[in-house]
């Protein structure tokens, strides 16, 4: 059949004509898409499938690993599709810093996914919010936490008191194997509780135990595949079990927080603030007295800010401490060096924050744990606040942006041995501690972790206090080589479930 005959048959019937029109329309739209992309130089990336996007490319258990590999092919600024959701990924130290620090306003908004929208009741609190409410709540939280000692001597005393309680818990196991997860969760939760409420909880308090349990469960659920799918297809998956469990846990914890807040409200002294809650209530009363109708100091912001601080101040620090002890058991020669330095510099007295500068190896071990464990492989999603031209790429206003923090902490151009536990990454030739610009576990810019200074104090004081008192080993019958460092990936990256022995050194 000749070409002319083929063309004639193609257009000889209404059905064929319609089919030809559809084909031509698709070709036209695709060509225009390519022209527009070339014209605006949008970030490159793998070709997405309809509806699924690039999901079939992703490592289901560790999507950050796939993104890291894609950055090697497509560059430090590239596009992927999580289902129908377009995401621009930022990889490597220089690119992440340039975006979050040098272009902080452009990349400073929070992308509030459907699950975060559910959790924040539409954008309240200090983590999953934007605009004036977020700015005021973050300003309030930062200034008030500093007032109550974050990064100062008062917080140091609270942490040292909690170290005493934690050591007692470890001693009760009498050198037998136990899981460190729950004791660390309780200890770190108590630090933020003492700053927020003005007092700590006993580890046996059922109310406290249940709040911590629900917060841990919330973190686990947020890392589940079903909730990630809900974020991509919220109109289809509102009914899923994990979403219902998440919202139930959150509401139950908010009710518990509300009861604690009510007790503080009934005993409030406007002249003497005991913690973050008191400071909020005093400001709330002032705003009400002045009849401010558009105040951000309302009950929903209070309850959700407390929930954000309680959850955020527990999981990440607790998980990092678990990695610290696991690495010490895995690398006993490094543990011995830490303890030798502690013996030589501190002796039997309590370690203080001011001792950090005299303990360079110990400080380097803590930093290297944070770097290698990379417990937050991707920063919580950002969003562009306006149209941006970044590194020659056009990124439209409202685009979801993932700063890939693990690519910063494992950047081969910044770290000599990025995939190896090597405290020398933070030591100079004379053995002095050396700051590294590419050390960015708390993210950076406008959305950097507001509790960074508190977390740094906790990690240093808990770790040194425990290493003064105990030597950590694998359980009997488990060799150092058999100690598993395989991570469990969820919202954070934690160690696989494991037990350690805490052998008393004294």
pLDDT in tens, 54-77: 999 999 888 999 999 999 999 999
Q: Which two tokens stand for residue 291?
A: 């009849």
Q: Name, in order, each residue with C-beta under 8 angstroms of 303's C-beta and a sequence gap of 6 or more.
A: 254, 257, 258, 261
Provide the pLDDT for residue 288.
Answer: 86
Provide the pLDDT for residue 34.
Answer: 45
Strand, coil or helix: 162? helix
Provide the pLDDT for residue 255.
Answer: 92
Q: Report the distance separating Cα 86 and Cα 493, nearest Å.
A: 24
The H or E element spanning position 49 is none
Q: Report the distance separating Cα 133 and Cα 129, nearest Å.
A: 7
| More confident: 292 or 311 | 311
Provide the pLDDT for residue 362.
Answer: 98
Mean pLDDT of the chain: 89
User: In which band, very low, low, confident or very high, does the pLDDT at 35 lie, cut at 50, 70 and 90?
Assistant: very low
Q: How many other CB atoms are found less than 10 A from the CB of residue 267?
A: 8
* Residue 8: pLDDT over 70: no
pLDDT in tens, 319-371: 999 999 999 999 999 999 999 999 999 998 999 999 999 999 999 999 999 99
Provide the pLDDT for residue 238.
Answer: 87
Q: Which two tokens stand for residue 182?
A: 């729950």
Q: Report the distance separating Cα 356 and Cα 464, nearest Å.
A: 10
Provide the pLDDT for residue 37.
Answer: 47
Strand, coil or helix: 404? strand
Q: Report the distance separating Cα 439 and Cα 408, nearest Å.
A: 8
Q: At what angle do helices 225-232 and 241-266 cross, to 10 degrees?
A: 90
* pTM recorded for the entire structure: 0.89
Phi (first) and psi of residue 491, to 5 degrees: -65, -35
How far is the CA of 406 from the CAs of 315, 326, 399, 409, 484, in angstroms? 18, 20, 21, 5, 20
Q: Name, in order, each residue with C-beta under 8 angstroms of 453's C-beta and a sequence gap of 6 or more.
A: 150, 151
Provide the pLDDT for residue 151.
Answer: 62
The H or E element spanning position 171 is helix 153-171
Provide the pLDDT for residue 409.
Answer: 97
Strand, coil or helix: 14? helix
Q: Give the DSSP per-residue string, 345-391.
A: HTTTSPP-GGGGGG-HHHHHHHHHHHHHH-S-SSPSPEE-SS-EEET
Strand, coil or helix: 293? coil
* Residue 28: pLDDT over 70: no
* Residue 7: pLDDT over 50: no
* Residue 484: pLDDT over 80: yes
pLDDT in tens, 419-431: 999 999 999 999 9
């Amino acid at each position: 059949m000749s070409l002319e005959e083929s063309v004639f048959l193609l257009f000889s019937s209404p059905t064929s004509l319609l089919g030809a029109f559809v084909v031509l329309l698709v070709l036209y739209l695709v060509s225009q898409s390519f022209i527009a992309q070339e014209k605006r130089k949008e970030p490159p990336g793998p070709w997405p499938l309809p509806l699924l996007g690039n999901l079939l490319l992703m490592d289901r258990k560790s999507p950050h690993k796939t993104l890291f590999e894609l950055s090697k092919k497509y560059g430090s600024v590239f596009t992927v599709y999580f289902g129908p959701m377009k995401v621009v990924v930022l990889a490597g130290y220089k690119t992440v810093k340039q975006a979050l620090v040098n272009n902080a306003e452009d990349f400073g908004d929070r992308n509030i996914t459907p699950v975060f929208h559910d959790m924040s009741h539409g954008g309240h609190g200090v983590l999953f919010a934007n605009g004036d409410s977020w700015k005021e709540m973050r300003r309030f939280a930062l200034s008030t936490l500093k007032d109550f000692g974050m990064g100062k001597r008062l917080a140091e005393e609270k942490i040292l008191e909690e170290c005493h309680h934690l050591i007692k818990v470890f001693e009760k196991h009498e050198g037998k194997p136990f899981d460190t997860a729950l004791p660390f969760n309780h200890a770190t939760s108590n630090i933020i509780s003492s700053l927020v409420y003005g007092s700590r909880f006993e580890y046996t308090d059922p109310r406290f135990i249940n709040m911590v349990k629900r917060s841990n469960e919330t973190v686990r659920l947020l890392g589940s595949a079903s909730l990630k799918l809900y974020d991509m297809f919220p109109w289809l998956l509102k009914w899923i079990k994990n979403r219902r469990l998440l919202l139930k846990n959150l509401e139950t914890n908010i009710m518990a927080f509300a009861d604690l807040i009510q007790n503080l409200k009934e005993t409030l002294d406007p002249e003497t603030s005991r913690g973050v809650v008191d400071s909020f209530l005093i400001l709330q009363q002032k705003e009400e007295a002045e009849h401010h109708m558009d105040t951000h100091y309302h009950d929903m912001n209070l309850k959700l800010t407390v929930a954000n601080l309680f959850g955020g101040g527990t999981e990440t620090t607790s998980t990092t401490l678990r990695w610290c002890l696991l690495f010490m058991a895995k690398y006993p020669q490094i543990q011995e060096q830490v303890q030798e330095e502690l013996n030589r510099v501190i002796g039997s007295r309590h370690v203080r924050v001011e001792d950090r500068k005299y303990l360079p190896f110990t400080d380097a071990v803590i930093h290297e744990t944070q770097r290698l464990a990379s417990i937050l492989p991707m920063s919580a999603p950002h969003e562009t606040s306006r149209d941006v031209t970044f590194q020659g790429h056009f990124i439209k206003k409202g685009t979801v942006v993932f700063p890939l923090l693990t690519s910063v902490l494992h950047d081969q151009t910044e770290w000599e041995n990025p995939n190896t536990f090597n405290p020398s990454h933070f030591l100079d030739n004379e053995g002095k501690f050396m700051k590294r610009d590419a050390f960015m576990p708390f993210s950076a810019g406008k959305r950097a972790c507001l509790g960074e200074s508190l977390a740094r104090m906790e990690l240093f004081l808990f770790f040194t206090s425990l290493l003064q008192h105990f030597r950590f080993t694998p359980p009997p019958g488990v060799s150092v080589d058999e100690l598993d460092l395989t991570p469990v990936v969820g919202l954070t990256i934690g160690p696989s479930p494991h037990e350690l022995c805490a052998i008393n050194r004294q």
